Structure 1
Amino acid sequence: MQINRLFQIIYLLLNKKTITAKELATYFEVSLRTIYRDIELLATAGIPIYTKQGKGGGISLVDTYVLNKSLLSEQEQNEILFALQSLAITQSSETDNVLSKVSTLFNKRHTNWIEVDVSSWGSSIDSKNDFTMIKHAILDGRVLQLTYFNNSGEKSIRKIEPLKLVFKVNAWYLQAFCRIKNDNRTFKLSRMSDISVTEETFLPTVPSSLNTKTSVDQKWMPAQLRISPEGRYRVFDEFKEHEITQNTDQSFTIHTYLPESDWTIQHLLSFGHTLEVISPKKLRRQMQTKLTQMIKIYKNSTIT
């Protein structure tokens, strides 16, 4: 208890600059004699603490004092603060509280250099709330129930044991054990909806590697794409540098591998007129078929 009280005294002094012995005694519910003994112990330990008598006086620390300066370098202190800043993604009040305390202990201000937001532009706060809900379900070992759309657009209600959140290739995924499929699965957060935490619990055990049906059974095909200069803003976001060749007319030729799924068709169509599939012929025909279906919809439209 005394060690904890000594640490809290230092924190209070760093935060409030000056505080009276009576205020400390009231705060910790101890006697004035105990507080004076604590101050003496801190001074003996080398903490630059001093008292000032009279009006406006009290117990203070030297203004330049930093608690862990002897234990942590400037860079190490910054790394701790930066790591806490990145945890703001969880929208946790505990994180804000810890960050405030550590910033005070290190005598640092204006460290808000990073913000991580899991929601898309224009989306509501629900995406952040879902992320926080999933985080607590993982830590508490609680089963989640949700609606999920797979790669083929099939809708299903799932009960899962959430194990780990993963950020990969510009998207968030949840690794979990699916009670419906009775197997490990990886769920894309953007395809999850109606998420709720159930009363059911499980013992969290994260395997060293969570193989999923998607990663095991997914077939990939080599593909050659051409993207016009108008689509250049997406080229380096979507493809690796070694896959990209810039042509003399400022267009781009892409040599890459794509999954054999309906998702690939939908994704390539999102490039609009800026993208053309050169090969394989099978993928090119699939694009033609999908575009013909889209044109048919608009030709037959009765909307006026």
Structure 2
Amino acid sequence: MSESRLFKILYYLLDKGTVTAPELAKKFEVSVRTIYRDIDMLSGAGIPVYTTTGHGGGIHLLDNFVLKKSLLSEQEMQDILIGVQSLSAVQYPDTDGVMSKLKATFQIAESDWIEIDFSRWGSIVEKEKQYFEMLKRSILGRQEIQFLYYNSLGEGSQRRCQPLKLVYKDKAWYLYAYCLKRNDYRLFRISRIKELLVTDQYFKSHSEMKESVFSLMEEMGKPITIELSFPKEVSYRVYDTFEDDVIKWNGQEIRVNVTLPETEWLYSFIMSFGNQISILYPVSLKEKIIERYKIALKHFEEDTR
């Protein structure tokens, strides 16, 4: 008899509601007979677990059953508190009350160990919090949203989407959603979303989403392998951006060899170093950067006339 399997079955029932014995047997790689013995053990331990027959039947817990804190280890209680506090740190609303109740229930004093501010410099913090609250409500409530969206070229377009997930990647927040205008899954940078509105139109869950949000992010630009060189004066920026395993220091310069999506972000990143960067490979990337510098120079020359 595996005691850990009993707890896993209990957590599974709490999560799924009603399940069948064959489903549990497949999940935990045991026989159906073993599952029924486990259910008898749980019932004998005072857990209100029941089985029903017929169409729609299965194994389930008594409605409104709450897991007692005595069934959780000290580490599990700490992990729960840390998880809720992490949500609070990333500005997820309405967590203070939950934290207070959990600490009182578990009788654990939790220190305030983390604080994160994702708001941008010069931004209106309350406006951003309002947008996050609206997006959270629309995702959990499966309500369609509409907004004005500006792409990387500054071109605006009206969008109507079914929001699915918020994603934080490379110092920026994104909304992962099904765009009804494009009839496909899209990532929208939240800082470019304007005039956000949660509609009264509801949608069904998306069971056939793309496997990975981050694979979709890679599709935003074709991956390109680049080699860059930096003087030691900007080493702090290099180490802030790239992992150690792609950086090589030869005593005179820093070299970076990495594969990244070729997007406007990559062009802007390279140009932000001015004359403190060299593109060693590929030549095509260097040519694109030169062309952008020429356009910028022409603009400023015309602006001073």
TM-score by length of 2: 0.68
Matches within 5 A, 1:52-63: none
The aligned residue for residue 243 of structure 1 is 246
Matched residues in 2 for 1:192 and 1:161: separation? 14
Unpaired runs of 5+ in structure 1? 1-66
The aligned residue for residue 98 of structure 2 is 98
The aligned residue for residue 141 of structure 1 is 142
Matches within 5 A, 1:51-90: 70-88=70-88, 89-90=90-91
The one-letter code matched in structure 2 to 1:113 is W
Unpaired runs of 5+ in structure 2? 1-66
SS where residue 274 of structure 1 aligns?
A: coil
The aligned residue for residue 133 of structure 2 is 132
Once the two structures are superposed, residues 162-212 of structure 1 have per-residue CA deviations (whole angstroms, 9 ceiling, x without a partner) of 011222333322211101001111222233222221122112325353578
**Greater alpha carbon shift after TM alignment, 131-140 vs 185-194:** 185-194
Once the two structures are superposed, residues 224-280 of structure 1 have per-residue CA deviations (whole angstroms, 9 ceiling, x without a partner) of 11122222122123222221111212x311111233334421221123332222221
Q: Is the 8 A contact 2:103 2:110 kept in 1?
A: no
**Pairing 1:123–2:107 present:** no
How many residue pairs get aligned? The number is 235
The one-letter code matched in structure 2 to 1:258 is L
The one-letter code matched in structure 2 to 1:197 is V
Matched residues in 2 for 1:119 and 1:207: separation? 32
**Greater alpha carbon shift after TM alignment, 179-188 vs 70-79:** 70-79
Matched residues in 2 for 1:189 and 1:243: separation? 29
The aligned residue for residue 218 of structure 1 is 221
The one-letter code matched in structure 2 to 1:75 is Q
SS where residue 100 of structure 2 aligns?
A: helix
The aligned residue for residue 286 of structure 1 is 288
Q: Which has the larger radius of gyration?
A: 1
Q: 1:195 to 1:118 in 2, by over 3 A?
A: farther
Once the two structures are superposed, residues 77-97 of structure 1 have per-residue CA deviations (whole angstroms, 9 ceiling, x without a partner) of 21111111112134423x211
Q: Is the 8 A contact 1:244 1:253 kept in 2?
A: yes
Percent identical among aligned pairs is: 35
1:158: Cα distance to partner? 0.8
SS where residue 273 of structure 1 aligns?
A: coil
SS where residue 303 of structure 2 aligns?
A: coil
1:287: Cα distance to partner? 1.3
Matched residues in 2 for 1:119 and 1:167: separation? 12
Once the two structures are superposed, residues 81-122 of structure 1 have per-residue CA deviations (whole angstroms, 9 ceiling, x without a partner) of 1111112134423x2111111111222335221223332244
The one-letter code matched in structure 2 to 1:296 is K
The aligned residue for residue 233 of structure 2 is 230
1:161: Cα distance to partner? 0.2
Matched residues in 1 for 2:232 and 2:105: separation? 52
Matched residues in 1 for 2:103 and 2:216: separation? 45
Question: CA RMSD for the aligned pairs?
Answer: 2.6
